[in-house]
């Protein structure tokens, strides 16, 4: 699963990406035009990983 979101409003120009691979996901976020910041989280199994990824995505 891979999802990419962008937010542009006035002076804001941001992106947020999540990519799930097995039992871990990587979130990358920041200003459009930069490489941004990356965070990777690993879980005990794929189901927990997908549930947490969906939760983060629904919050956006």
What's residue 46's pLDDT? 96
Indicate which CATH number applies to the domain containing 43: 2.20.140.10
Residue 7 lies in a domain: yes
Report if residue 60 sits inside a domain. no
> How many CA atoms does the CB half-sphere of 27 hold within 13 Å?
15
pLDDT digits (tens, 9 = 90+) for 4-48: 999 999 889 999 999 999 999 999 999 999 999 999 999 999 999
Residue 8: burial class (beta carbons within 10 Å; 0-12, 13-18, 19+): exposed
Residues in the chain: 60
Q: Where are the alpha helices (DSSP H) in the chain?
A: 46-59
Tokens of 1: 């699963």
């Amino acid at each position: 699963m891979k999802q990419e979101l962008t937010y542009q409003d006035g002076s804001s120009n941001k992106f947020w990406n999540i990519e799930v691979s097995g039992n871990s996901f990587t979130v990358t976020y920041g200003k459009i035009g930069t490489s941004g910041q990356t965070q990777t989280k690993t879980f005990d199994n794929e189901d927990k990983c997908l549930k947490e990824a969906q939760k983060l995505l629904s919050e956006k």
